[in-house]
Homo-oligomer: A and B are copies of this chain.
Amino acid sequence: MRLSNDLTSLAHASSQDPDFMVSIATGGYFPARVLRSFLKKPSVLGGSKTRNLPMQSIGLALYEEVAGTSAQVMGKDVIRTQWLDEGLFRLPTPQHPTTLLGKNIVLIDDVDDSRTTLEYAYKELLKDVQAGLAALTPEERQSLPPTRFATFVIHNKVKASGKKGHLPLLPNQSSSSTLESQPVIDGIGQGVWYYAANGQTGDVWIDYPWESDNIEEFNRLAALARELGVNQVC
Question: CB distance B33 to A213 under 8 Å?
Answer: no
- CB-CB under 8 A for A97 and B68, given A29-B23, A32-B26: yes
Q: Which of A49, A70, A85 has the most CB of B within 10 A?
A: A85
Q: Which residues does chain B contribute within 8 Å of A227, judged by CB atoms?
A: none
Is A57 within 8 A of B30, CB to CB? no
CA distance in complex: A216, B4 (Å): 9
Chain B nearest CB, measured from A103 CB (Å): 11
Given the interface pairs A65-B44, A71-B45, A210-B30, the reply to whether A59 lies near B59 with Cβ below 8 Å is: no
Among B2, B26, B65, B85, point to the contact of A45 (Cβ < 8 A). Answer: B65
Residues in chain B near residue A36, CB distance under 8 A = 26
Residue A64, interface by CB 8 Å: yes
From residue A12, how far is it (CB to closest CB) to chain B in Å? 17
Chain B residues lying within 8 Å of A65, measured Cβ to Cβ, are 43-45, 49, 51-52
Within 8 A of B (CB), among A94-153: 94, 97-98
Q: Interface 1/0s, chain A 24-51, versus B by CB < 8 A?
A: 0110011011101110000111000101
| Binary CB contact string for chain A from 205 to 218 against chain B (1 if under 8 A, 0 otherwise) | 00000111111100
CA distance A23 to B85 in the complex (A): 17
Among B5, B45, B56, B70, point to the contact of A59 (Cβ < 8 A): B56
15 A-B pairs besides A2-B215, A34-B210, A68-B94 with CB distance below 8 A are: A3-B215, A25-B55, A26-B32, A37-B211, A37-B212, A45-B69, A49-B65, A52-B64, A56-B82, A57-B59, A66-B98, A67-B97, A82-B84, A82-B85, A83-B85
- Mark A residues whose CB is within 8 Å of B: 2-5, 23, 25-26, 29-30, 32-34, 36-38, 43-45, 49, 51-52, 54-57, 59, 64-71, 81-85, 92, 94, 97-98, 210-216
